[in-house]
Amino acid sequence: MNDESRSRNLVKLVRDLQRRKARERRARVVLEGRRLVADVLEAGARVLGLVVAEDAAAADAVPLLEEAERRHLDVQRLPRAEFDALAGTESPGGVLAVADWAPRDLASLAPPASCLLLVLDGVQDPGNVGTMIRTAHALGACATVALDGTADVRSPKVLRSAMGSHFRHPVAEAAFDAFAAWAARGGFTVLCAASDGAPVADVHRGGRVALVVGSEGHGVRAAWAAHPHRRVAIPMRGDAESLNAAVAAAILAWELLRDVR
């Protein structure tokens, strides 16, 4: 295959990866934005190729393209209008890339005897999902698990908000029943974030802890009632509406990691 047809195939691949099914089947994702692409290259990910807007290729993206050349990566240049039509997020800065990535499964996680696992239970907003993965990674959680009903962890918006953490922190997917059984077998204490929960500072910590955060509107799923768990909350002023879901997850994770740090 010559260079030109290989590049055309790259654009076709990016288009295909806009569908969740294609991302699942191909075990590949689209990374949007210069900083994210540079970070993921540095993390040692297998990057298949870059697509660059012509104006960016002559400006900010030059160092990144030199790096791509050193690595013999396929680079496809597109007029800005075509690039913008291809990119899904709002300000991708004229660069995107395709990389190998797939979520782990539970069996491949090896949680240490003392650890915090962040569990996303139906978190819908891709920005929040990505921010939560980024936070779990930065604070030292052992992994993030996305349960069914959560926004696709492979979506460009999630990858963009997570700022490269997918490539440095274990991110897994699991069905609810499989996760609940796995957590019980592993001796995890399950703590569900809920506004009527016990103040997080009063909750016993230590050992393996799974912190479950739900959707901003509805909280964790009702099915947890059939499994051992405790409900934990962040004490708030009485007249406050609530916290942003990613902010609440961050404060709870920070507080629960106090004894692990």
Provide the binding-site residues for a copy of itself, judged by CB under 8 A: 39, 43, 131, 134-135, 137-140, 161, 163-165, 168, 234-237, 239-244, 246-247, 250-251, 254-255, 261
Contact yes or no for 14/75 (Cβ under 8 A)? no
Considering the complex, state which of residue 78 and residue 162 has its C-beta at the smaller distance from a copy of itself: 162
Least Å distance, CB 236 to a copy of itself, is 5
Considering the complex, state which of residue 78 and residue 115 has its C-beta at the smaller distance from a copy of itself: 115
Considering the complex, state which of residue 96 and residue 248 has its C-beta at the smaller distance from a copy of itself: 248
List, in sequence order, every beta strand (DSSP E) within 93-229: 95-100, 115-121, 143-147, 171-174, 189-199, 208-214
Please say whether the dihedral angle defined by the alpha carbons of residues 87, 97, 165 and 122, taken in this order, is positive or negative. Answer: positive
Q: Note the helical H segments in the chain.
A: 3-16, 20-26, 34-42, 54-57, 62-70, 80-86, 126-139, 156-162, 176-185, 245-256
Considering the complex, state which of residue 74 and residue 255 has its C-beta at the smaller distance from a copy of itself: 255
Least Å distance, CB 2 to a copy of itself, is 37
Least Å distance, CB 81 to a copy of itself, is 22
Kindly report the number of other CB atoms within 10 A of residue 1's CB atom.
8
Least Å distance, CB 250 to a copy of itself, is 4
- Supply 207's token pair: 């050992």
